[in-house]
A and B are shown apart, each in its own frame.
Chain A
Amino acid sequence: MIHSFRLRLTLFSALISGLVLSAFGLTTWLLIRGSRVERIDRDVITQAERESQRTRDTADWQRTETNMASEAGIRDKGDMLLLVEDGAGNVVYRSQDWPASLVAEQLPWPPQPAPRQGAEPPPRPNPDATGAEPPPRPAPDRPGAARGPRPQPQPLRERPGSAPPGSPPVSRIAMQLAGERHWHIGLASTDHSRVAVAVDTASVDPDMQGILRAFLVALPLCLVLIGLGGWSFSGRALRPLRKLTVTARQITAEGLDQRISSQGEDREFAELIVVFNGMLERLERSFRQARRFSADAAHELKTPLAILQGQIEQAIHAVEDGSAMQAELTGILDEVRRLSTISSKLMLLSQADAGNLRIHAQSFNLSKALADLVEDTIMLAPHLLVTGDIQPGLTIRADASLLPQVLHNLISNAIKYNVDHGWIRISTALRPKQIEVLVANSSPGIPSAERSRIFDRFFRADPARGRKIEGVGLGLSVSREIARAHSGDITFSVDPEDIVRFSLLLPV
């Protein structure tokens, strides 16, 4: 899925807004259409009622029809039809487009009011129609849609009972389907005529389509704006998070003294930043304490160790050679040496941790050092087959007191973790811009669980067959730090035949 919170937020807000706007737009559209259709109903009733009280000739009716259409705001003439019959049911006027399927007799005419005895000729109650001709209906400046509601409009109206002569006609609305067209028909009956005004509800469609088009243009525009707004706003909102990320990255690169400014951030984020800074503060303090502790401890140990070692040395030379006392003092001296070794390794590691393990690079004859190493290995492990394949004349820039520690550590591991009648092979290889010193040896196998831990401090692999293994488990981690301080590295691998390979890479 999408793994950017910002993108998700933006898309989500745009989606929700789109849905809401669409639903809202659809409802509005339906409401508008409904009210339009409702107004058509009102119009057709009113017009049917009005026209049913008139008598005209055919040409007059034709004009009336045109006027009616423009009055109702209907553009297409074919969408509004007129049918006029006299009291006897004879067609007085019928629109040209009147569909054949709309049979006049089948329309649900309201019952004709019975003509009243002695009735006068139909009066003209409608002041609009006092003239002989219907008043002109200037449609262009009076669009039908702008007209206010008329009094007493009912979708379905029937006034049963006798209508007084000239009194309002009886009317009703009917809906008929003719072909594909859906007609709303206003039917009005008076004692002397029946008028049907039919309007196709599709006549509102052009307007409705206009609204729909406007909406379809506005919606994507709106969504784009919302999306952009959401994107930039979420970007602003996530800025403190980015700062945290940048700071956390700098901590790795530059140390724990990084802090983030909470100035100008929103309250919620300011709080997070304050908490984060507080955490860094505590972390830095305890880290610094831990680091200083090992450096201080190692340093504080140096002077007493130096005194102890010096005095024991003096005592060894003072007592009689070969005496039991001298042997005992020598044993003590060995332990003091062991202590100093540990303390100087700890000091070296704490310097490496603090990132200031500096080396004193000078010309270093690697070939000679490795030849010595092979010699040492042969002396240290006469029970093992030791081979060396060292290219002559390898000279690098290295620290003459630190690098030999690494070399020695590698072979001392190869001796310690070996098998009876095993072998050790020390070789060199030229790599692009690097020299590789490879120490390979047979081994009783290293459990895979221990392989990832061999560079850990104070870690010692389980010795094979319960042999006692000397050392404190700092050698490899110290070696790797020294290699890295030389811009090199140490890697380790075990192949399926339990051959262990340590590879020391050093820049040329």
Chain B
Amino acid sequence: MNVLLVEDERKIAQFVCAGLKEQGFAVDNCDNGTIGFESACRGGYDVIVIDIMLPGRDGLSILKGMRKAGNTTPVILLTARNELDDRIEGLSLGADDYLAKPFFVEELIARIHAVVRRASGDRQGRLAVDDLILDRFTHEVTWRGETVDMTGREFNLIEYLMRSPGRVFTRTQILEHVWGYDFDPSTNVVDVCIQRIRKKIATIRAGVDGDSPIESVRGVGYRFRKLP
């Protein structure tokens, strides 16, 4: 998947690029709004991530110019300035999503997947790891054909973990993605939710050998077990 990142802050661009590449994205980075706009208009990207505050042409102006020119590539805005106003303006200008700084690269990746899926009209939405199958449209979870009844929060959590099996997610990353707003980092809601999911999966796969597919990483968070 090809991503264009228009971000002038070098250090931010650095870790975003690194994070995206690690997940198998091809990333082009440019640090100037004017050049960014030209690159965006050339096309060839699946998604464009634009910082709002840029030298040259600002992010909202790039977005406006793109949409005016009929370019419908999904756009995710990054904002640090007066964030609420930018968010409202950005969404009304046709941005597909926005992310306020500071943000997690994992969250950006999740958003990129979501907007690309929406844009491409992916009707499948199936996610299958280790006999566990998620249907993103019906929110149905099955294990070897048997339905596991999950609440909204539980589904979102397991979906987040399953997208990158073997990758550890911290509690705050999970909190931010699943709950979406500012929980106290010290809350134990993630652990409680994980326990409930584990219990539900354990009930359904009773008698099957092996540990729970959701593994704890002490002092850090959780990860979905990656099959060797």
Contacts and interface: CB of A to CB of B under 8 A. Distances in A.
A308 B192 contact: no
Contacts of A402: 84
Contacts of B184: 338, 412, 470-471
B207 interface: no
A327 B217 CA distance: 9
Interface string A40-84: 000000000000000000000000000000000000000000000
A360 B91 contact: yes
A308 B179 CA distance: 22
B181 A404 contact: yes
A60 B55 CA distance: 129
Interface in B173-227: 173, 176, 179-189, 192-193, 196, 217-221, 223
Contacts of A331: 219
Contacts of B81: 299
A306 B220 contact: no
B117 interface: no
A55 B167 CA distance: 152
A380 B187 contact: yes
B221 to A, nearest CB: 7
Contacts of A313: 15, 19, 104-106, 173
Given A322-B218, A330-B170, A330-B220, A308 B151 contact: no
B28 to A, nearest CB: 18
A338 to B, nearest CB: 6
Contacts, number: 153
Nearest to A328: B219
Instruction: Name the residue in B84, B104, B218 with the highest tally of chain A Cβ atoms < 10 Å from its Cβ.
Output: B84
B122 interface: no
A317 B22 contact: yes
A399 to B, nearest CB: 8
B24 interface: no
Contacts of B151: 375
A337 B168 CA distance: 18
B146 to A, nearest CB: 23
Contacts of A508: none
Contacts of A101: none
A192 B208 CA distance: 166
Nearest to B175: A337
B105 A375 contact: no
Nearest to B219: A327
Contact of A317 (B84, B168, B181, B192): B168
Contacts of B9: 303, 306-307
B88 A358 contact: yes
Interface stretch (A23-31, A244-252, A340-348): A340-348
A306 B152 contact: no
Contact of B168 (A316, A340, A351, A371): A316
Contacts of B102: 302, 305-310, 336, 340
A175 interface: no
A295 B11 CA distance: 23
Given A305-B102, A307-B12, A321-B220, A379 B182 contact: no
B63 interface: no
A401 interface: yes
A333 interface: yes
Size category, B interface: 35 or more
Nearest to A309: B102
Contacts of A363: none
B74 to A, nearest CB: 19
B110 to A, nearest CB: 13
B14 to A, nearest CB: 8
Given A408-B183, A470-B184, A380 B192 contact: yes
Contact of B103 (A306, A348, A372): A306
Nearest to B184: A470
Contact of A327 (B15, B100, B220): B220
A254 to B, nearest CB: 20
A314 B18 contact: yes
A418 B220 CA distance: 29
Nearest to A311: B15
Interface string A397-416: 00001101100100010000
Contacts of B170: 316, 330, 333-334
Contacts of B185: 334-335, 337-338
B172 interface: yes
B44 to A, nearest CB: 26
Contacts of B182: 341, 344-345, 405, 408
A376 interface: yes
B211 to A, nearest CB: 15
A118 interface: no
Contacts of B87: 360, 401
A356 interface: yes
A82 to B, nearest CB: 110
A345 B85 CA distance: 15
A121 interface: no
A335 B185 CA distance: 8
B180 A401 contact: yes
A344 B83 contact: yes
8 contacts: A302-B102, A303-B9, A321-B168, A327-B219, A357-B84, A372-B152, A380-B189, A401-B87
Top 4 A-B pairs, shortest CB-CB distance: A327-B219, A306-B102, A310-B15, A302-B80
